[in-house]
Structure 1
Amino acid sequence: MTPEDTMKLLVTLRSRGVTDARVLEAMEATDRAAFVSDTFTIRAYEDVPLPIASGQTVSQPSVVGRMTQALGVEPRDKVLEVGTGTGYQAAILSKLARRIYTVERHRALTRLAREVHAKLGLTNVTQITGDGSHGLPEQAPFDRILVTAAAEDPPGPLLAQLRIGGSMVVPVGVSDAMQMLIKVTRSDHGYDYDELGPVRFVPLVEGVEHD
């Protein structure tokens, strides 16, 4: 990433509502080009989603930034990400939290993310192939949960794996045209829901793909 690329990306992020200094620093230190194919390297610093393997996409940086900012990650947090893709979001989270567990239903993407993270020397990320809609109960509870695919409702198993005081950010909606980014905060009395704005994500699908 050249200084010009970095400056352009940071200006774009700030103009689209990403203002948290820690999040901006983490994104500045994470070269998005490492997470896309050579075909799309030239577009890695544009604020657009890009295709990756297994028919999936890597989200546009401003959406990644807004979701990360909303999550409010603290340095000692243990974070669950559902939907690894090629590992871009997890790499950013790795600079903000103590430990990241990221679950992906496509084995090919899990392998790819593991390779990229290893090349970047990220030692606090664990990549797992599995059904992310069920979370990772053996590692629960989590301080933060980030879901990068749209669910009809915030998944019950994921809500149950949030610690008291923890929060989850998840796109909710059944169609491409009608999705809302939701922040769920767990308290002693239940769950509080805040709408963060419209988004568009691939659907959260149950099961594992053996690709």
Structure 2
Amino acid sequence: MTASLVHACRQAGVEDERVLDAVRAVDRTAFLPSAQKPSATRDAPLPIGDGQTTSQPSLIARMVQALHLTGDETVLEVGTGSGYQTAILSRLARSVVSIDRHPSLVDSATAALGGLDNVVLVVGDGTLGWPDLAPYDAITVGATGPQVPPALLAQLADGGRLVIPVGPPNRSSLQRWIRRGTESVGPEQLMQVRFVPLIGEAGFADED
């Protein structure tokens, strides 16, 4: 069932076999609302409620690949969303901390993830990170902000990687930053993307 998504990831330039194996192993259907389940194998973003979407699987895979995970890392995921990317990360890292500002999405992701023992889900402002469990070897952000939140850079371990879209939602630049000692090196521009806005103290204002 996931073969078409693995193929789409390869076509998009994903070459890391560990990432492809994780995409192959995670059934996207389990992380979608009932109305979207028939579209689970489409390589496209899909609505998941609360005005949010789950990202295109090939884009998720490209972002995860950019983190260069080896299996020993503690990862912070900003934007739990459906929990689909969380499940992929859980197969590639030692532990995953995932934060979302929508309690209902955290609840549904918790149910879909089925009690994975290396995942911690929390509700909060993702632009502030989650300092209680920092530092992180890798941070990935699933929404675009007007700037790189300083707290995320500060919570990177030495050598840690941050992958984040920056700019207006309809024309963001996916960037990678690396922590070197006390300095943050970047941005490395990876690609142009479209994401929902990153809402929070160091992001866009909530217009609701």
TM-score, normalization by structure 1: 0.92
> Stretches of 4+ moved more than 6 A in 1?
none
1:161-211 CA-partner distances (Å, limit 9, x unpaired):
0011000000000x233200000011126222211000111111016x9xx
1:79 aligns with 2:89: no
1:158 aligns with 2:180: no
1:129-188 CA-partner distances (Å, limit 9, x unpaired):
011110011111110001101011111000000011000000000x23320000001112
1:129 aligns with 2:130: no
Report how far residue 86 of structure 1 moved. Answer: 1.4
| Identity, % of aligned positions | 45
Mapped to 2, the partners of 1:205 and 1:126 lie a distance apart of 21
Q: Which amino acid aligns with 1:192?
A: V
1:52 is paired with a residue whose SS is strand
Q: Please name the residue that 1:167 is paired with.
A: 161
Mapped to 2, the partners of 1:106 and 1:177 lie a distance apart of 22
Q: Please name the residue that 1:177 is paired with.
A: 170
Q: Please name the residue that 1:58 is paired with.
A: 54
Q: Which amino acid aligns with 2:94?
A: R
The structure 2 residue matched to 1:9, chosen from 5, 26, 49, is 5
1:142 aligns with 2:157: no
Q: Which amino acid aligns with 1:190?
A: E
CA-based RMSD of the aligned residues comes to 1.3
After TM superposition, list the pairs within 5 Å mapping 1:187-198 onto structure 2.
187-188=180-181, 190-193=183-186, 194-198=188-192
Report how far residue 7 of structure 1 moved. Answer: 2.3
Q: Please name the residue that 1:90 is paired with.
A: 86
Mapped to 1, the partners of 2:165 and 2:12 lie a distance apart of 18
1:88-121 CA-partner distances (Å, limit 9, x unpaired):
1111000001110000100100111111111xx5
Mapped to 1, the partners of 2:170 and 2:81 lie a distance apart of 22
2:96 is paired with a residue whose SS is strand
The structure 2 residue matched to 1:204, chosen from 184, 192, 198, is 198
1:15-40 CA-partner distances (Å, limit 9, x unpaired):
11111100000110001111111211
Q: Any gaps of 5 or more consecutive residues in structure 2? A: none
1:27 aligns with 2:23: yes
Q: Which amino acid aligns with 1:184?
A: W
Contact 2:100 2:123 in 1 (8 A): yes
